[in-house]
């Protein structure tokens, strides 16, 4: 049977007519699927029992469930979501005093093998469907209200997987999150984070992506970056500069550079100089991120003093920089840690 949420509006209308229902039922059904985030036909209480029974006979309704959660002392909550085929992906709620950010995944596992990332040690099983990315947002939106009493304010695609290797599903899922007849969240509150696939960054520009873009850079030196991010071998620093400038020219959106500061890997003065040189070639700001260690690698975060010196140097060269402290240190907060333990 076909998944009901794989149907377009036109296909849903046709399906309703085939089942002997009036056209307006398709609109009601669409609202249940994408505005009210229904997870079963039984929840659709303004549809007749007979119609719901016919829908259940003709269509499947794949949804995800919360398989596990961990709460940090700083309020961060990490979730493992169980998919309909029994795979696991992760999502995180990150609260501050006035907002809550949801971090969601785009793939089951990852193929990029970044050496500092727990997801890099997981085999990429498959891409997530558009409805599965939508479901993560819908569930985390409910959890934000329940846990903090605050509406979900921001979404970051920084969880498991590389979003630009699942381009069509990511774009379709975020369209359902943004749409007035979906969850209605502003695209300016969404950030897509990529390890750096130059041709797909350009495609984002060509397609007029309205959300924010973040590049996981972590080193502006080709040789050093390739040691921790093998994708650098086919997407060099020069390739990324060209792609980011293309994206900015097309969209007018300033890019954020994510830079996990790892002790004795990318935190020396030369790395800082090379990062400044990179920043001078594009329109950007920098987030220096305190590295969250993982069990599968021996990397550790730089000291607070080193990070401060690194940030001060960037600021002295007129680079816009923010220091992001690690959240959820007392739980399996790094991407892939919880899934690795539960798999």
**Residues catalogued as catalytic:** 90, 335
Task: Kindly list the distances between the CA atom of residue 154 and the CA atoms of 157, 178, 253, in Å, as whole numbers in the listed order.
Answer: 10, 12, 17
Smallest Cα–Cα separation from 216: which of 245, 240, 198, 195? 195
Q: How many CB atoms lie within 10 A of CB 142?
A: 12
CA distance 63 to 156: 21
**Cβ neighbours of residue 202 closer than 8 Å, sequence gap 6 or more:** 243, 246, 247
Q: How many CB atoms lie within 10 A of CB 343?
A: 14
List residues bridging with 193 in a β-sheet.
214
Smallest Cα–Cα separation from 102: which of 114, 90, 116? 90
Name the strand (E) or helix (H) holding 213. Answer: strand 212-216
CA distance 17 to 26: 9
CB 286 within 8 A of CB 257: yes
């Amino acid at each position: 049977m076909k998944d009901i949420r794989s149907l377009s509006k036109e296909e849903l209308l046709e399906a309703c007519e085939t089942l002997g229902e009036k056209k307006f039922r398709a609109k009601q059904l669409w609202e249940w699927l994408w505005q009210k985030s229904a997870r079963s036909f039984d929840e659709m209480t303004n549809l007749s029992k007979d119609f719901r029974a016919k829908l259940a006979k003709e269509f499947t309704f794949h949804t995800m469930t919360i398989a596990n959660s961990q709460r940090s002392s700083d309020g961060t909550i990490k979730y493992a979501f169980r998919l309909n085929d029994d795979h696991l992906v992760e999502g995180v709620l990150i609260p501050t005093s006035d907002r809550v950010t949801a971090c969601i995944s785009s793939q089951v596992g990852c193929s990029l093998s970044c050496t500092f990332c727990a997801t890099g040690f997981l085999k990429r099983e498959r891409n997530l469907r558009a409805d599965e990315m939508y479901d993560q947002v819908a569930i985390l939106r409910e959890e934000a209200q329940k846990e903090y009493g605050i509406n979900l304010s921001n979404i970051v695609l920084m969880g498991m997987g590389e979003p630009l290797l699942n381009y069509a599903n990511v774009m379709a899922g975020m369209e359902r999150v943004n749409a007035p007849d979906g969850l209605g969240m502003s695209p300016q509150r969404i950030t897509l984070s990529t390890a750096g696939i130059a041709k797909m960054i350009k495609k984002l520009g060509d397609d007029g992506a309205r959300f924010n873009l973040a590049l996981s850079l972590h080193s502006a030196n080709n040789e050093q970056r390739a040691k921790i991010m093998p994708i650098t071998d086919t997407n060099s620093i020069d390739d990324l500069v060209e792609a980011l400038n293309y994206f900015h020219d097309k969209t007018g959106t300033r890019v954020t550079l994510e830079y996990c500061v790892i002790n004795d890997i990318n935190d020396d003065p030369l790395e800082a100089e090379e990062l400044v040189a990179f920043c001078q070639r594009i329109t950007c700001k920098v987030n220096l991120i305190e590295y969250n260690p993982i069990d599968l690698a021996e990397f550790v975060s730089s000291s607070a003093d080193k990070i401060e010196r690194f940030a001060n140097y960037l600021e002295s060269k007129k680079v816009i920089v923010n220091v992001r402290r690690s959240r959820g240190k007392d739980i399996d907060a790094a991407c892939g840690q919880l899934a690795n333990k539960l798999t």
